[in-house]
Structure 1
Amino acid sequence: MKTIIISAYNTFISRNLFNTDVLKILKKEEGLNIVIFCPPDKVNFFQQFYGGPRVAFEGLDMDQFIRRPWNKKLYRLSFLLENSQYIKDQRLERYENNKNIAGYLNYKWVGLVSYVLSSILIFHPIYRVFDLFFSERRALKPYFDKFNPDFVFAADSFGEIDIWFMKEARSRKTPLITMVRSWDNTTTKGILRLMPDKIIVNSPTVKNELIEIHDYQADDIFVAGLPQFDVWLSGPTETREHFFARIGADPSKKLILFAPAGAVLSNTDWQLCQILKEALENGSLPENVQFLVRNHPQHPADLSKFAGDPSFIIDNPGHMTKAGDRKNIEFRPQDSEHLRNSIYYSDIVMYVATSLGLDSSVFNKPQIMVSFDGFEKKPYIRSVKRYNREDCLYNLVRCGGTKVVKSKEEWIMAINAYLKNPTLDQSGRDEIVKQHLYKIDGKAGERIANILLSFVKQF
Structure 2
Amino acid sequence: MKKIFITVNDGSIARNILRSFVLEKIIQHSDVHVGLVTHADKEEFYRTEFGSDRISVFGILGRPLSFFERVLSYCIRNGLWTETILMDQRTHMEGRYVAFAAKRTFIYLFGKSKWFHAFVRRLFLLRAPSRAMEELFSREKPDLLFSTDVQIELDFDATIAAHKNNVPVVGMVRSWDNPTSRGGLVPYIHVVLLVWSPYIAEKMEYVQQYPRERIRLVGIPHFDWYVKDIIVPREEFFRKLGIDPKKKMILFAGIGDFHAPHEIEVLEIIARKLREGMIEDAKEVVLVFRPHPAFRFDENSVKRLGNVVFDSGISSYSGKDRSSWEMEQEQVVHLANSLAHCDVLVTTASTMTVDAAAFDKPIVCVAFDGKSQEPHWRSVKRYYHDYSHYIALSRTKGFAIAYTRESLITYINNYLDNPNLDAEGRERIRQEFIWKLDGHSADRVAHAALMFSRN
- The within-5 A match list for 1:348-367 is 348-367=344-363
Q: Distance in 2 between matches of 1:260 and 1:5?
A: 34
Tell me which amino acid in the other structure corresponds to 2:120.
Y
SS state at 1:392 partner: helix
Tell me which amino acid in the other structure corresponds to 2:184.
G
Please list the CA deviations of residues 197-252 of structure 1 after superposition, one character each: whole Å capped at 9, or x if unmatched: 11000001101111112222112111000011113114543222221122222323
Please list the CA deviations of residues 319-338 of structure 1 after superposition, one character each: whole Å capped at 9, or x if unmatched: 1111x322111111111111
Q: CA deviation at 1:94?
A: 2.9
Find the counterpart in structure 1 of residue 257 from structure 2. 263
- The within-5 A match list for 1:133-212 is 133-136=126-129, 140-188=133-181, 189-212=183-206
Q: Distance in 1 between matches of 2:332 and 2:451?
A: 28
TM-score (norm 1): 0.94
Q: Distance in 1 between matches of 2:114 and 2:207?
A: 9
Tell me which amino acid in the other structure corresponds to 1:71.
E
Find the counterpart in structure 2 of residue 94 from structure 1. 92
Tell me which amino acid in the other structure corresponds to 2:285.
V
TM-score (norm 2): 0.94
Find the counterpart in structure 1 of residue 241 from structure 2. 247
Q: RMSD of aligned C-alpha atoms? A: 1.8
Find the counterpart in structure 2 of residue 53 from structure 1. 53
SS state at 2:201 partner: helix
Find the counterpart in structure 2 of residue 311 from structure 1. 307
Q: CA deviation at 1:112?
A: 2.4
SS state at 1:64 partner: coil
Q: Is the 8 A contact 1:349 1:365 kept in 2?
A: yes
1:297 matched to 2:297? The reply is: no
- Work out the percentage of aligned pairs sharing the same amino acid: 27
Q: Distance in 1 between matches of 2:249 and 2:311?
A: 13
Find the counterpart in structure 1 of residue 409 from structure 2. 412
Q: Distance in 2 between matches of 1:155 and 1:134?
A: 20
Find the counterpart in structure 2 of residue 17 from structure 1. 17
Q: CA deviation at 1:289?
A: 1.2
Do the aligned partners of residues 312 and 292 (structure 1) sit closer, same or farther apart at CA in structure 2, a change above 3 Å counting?
same
Q: Is the 8 A contact 2:231 2:340 kept in 1?
A: no
Find the counterpart in structure 1 of residue 438 from structure 2. 441
1:429 matched to 2:412? The reply is: no
Do the aligned partners of residues 14 and 284 (structure 1) sit closer, same or farther apart at CA in structure 2, a change above 3 Å counting?
same
Q: Is the 8 A contact 2:63 2:130 kept in 1?
A: no
Q: Distance in 1 between matches of 2:233 and 2:127?
A: 57
SS state at 1:442 partner: coil
Find the counterpart in structure 2 of residue 121 from structure 1. 114
1:226 matched to 2:220? The reply is: yes
Do the aligned partners of residues 235 and 258 (structure 1) sit closer, same or farther apart at CA in structure 2, a change above 3 Å counting?
farther
Q: CA deviation at 1:262?
A: 0.5
SS state at 1:36 partner: strand
Q: Is the 8 A contact 1:401 1:429 kept in 2?
A: yes
Find the counterpart in structure 1 of residue 340 from structure 2. 344
Q: Is the 8 A contact 1:45 1:321 kept in 2?
A: yes
Q: Distance in 2 between matches of 1:185 and 1:197?
A: 19
SS state at 2:372 partner: coil
Q: Distance in 2 between matches of 1:36 and 1:107?
A: 38
SS state at 2:207 partner: helix
Q: CA deviation at 1:51?
A: 3.2
Identify the match of residue 276 of structure 2 among 251, 272, 282: 282
Please list the CA deviations of residues 243-277 of structure 1 after superposition, one character each: whole Å capped at 9, or x if unmatched: 11222223232111111230211321221111012
Q: Distance in 1 between matches of 2:132 and 2:58?
A: 15
SS state at 2:323 partner: strand
Q: Is the 8 A contact 1:233 1:440 kept in 2?
A: yes
Moved more, 335-344 or 127-136: 127-136
Q: CA deviation at 1:106?
A: 4.1
Q: Distance in 2 between matches of 1:309 and 1:87?
A: 36
Find the counterpart in structure 2 of residue 379 from structure 1. 375
Identify the match of residue 331 of structure 2 among 328, 332, 335: 335
Give unmatched runs, 5+ long, in structure 2: none
Please list the CA deviations of residues 373-410 of structure 1 after superposition, one character each: whole Å capped at 9, or x if unmatched: 00111110111111223111111111110111100000
SS state at 1:291 partner: strand
SS state at 1:431 partner: helix
Find the counterpart in structure 2 of residue 132 from structure 1. 125
Tell me which amino acid in the other structure corresponds to 1:441.
D
Tell me which amino acid in the other structure corresponds to 1:176.
V
Do the aligned partners of residues 57 and 106 (structure 1) sit closer, same or farther apart at CA in structure 2, a change above 3 Å counting?
closer
Q: Distance in 1 between matches of 2:248 and 2:127?
A: 58
Do the aligned partners of residues 136 and 50 (structure 1) sit closer, same or farther apart at CA in structure 2, a change above 3 Å counting?
closer
Q: CA deviation at 1:452?
A: 1.2
Q: CA deviation at 1:132?
A: 2.4
Q: Is the 8 A contact 2:77 2:184 kept in 1?
A: yes
Q: CA deviation at 1:137?
A: 6.5
Find the counterpart in structure 1 of residue 397 from structure 2. 400
Find the counterpart in structure 1 of residue 63 from structure 2. 64
Give unmatched runs, 5+ long, in structure 1: none
Q: Is the 8 A contact 1:396 1:402 kept in 2?
A: no
Do the aligned partners of residues 172 and 138 (structure 1) sit closer, same or farther apart at CA in structure 2, a change above 3 Å counting?
farther
Q: Is the 8 A contact 1:137 1:167 kept in 2?
A: no
Please list the CA deviations of residues 74-113 of structure 1 after superposition, one character each: whole Å capped at 9, or x if unmatched: 2222122111111111111233x10xxxx44543342122
Tell me which amino acid in the other structure corresponds to 1:85.
E
Tell me which amino acid in the other structure corresponds to 2:362.
P
Do the aligned partners of residues 331 and 68 (structure 1) sit closer, same or farther apart at CA in structure 2, a change above 3 Å counting?
farther
Please list the CA deviations of residues 46-92 of structure 1 after superposition, one character each: whole Å capped at 9, or x if unmatched: 2343333311111222x225x55543332222122111111111111
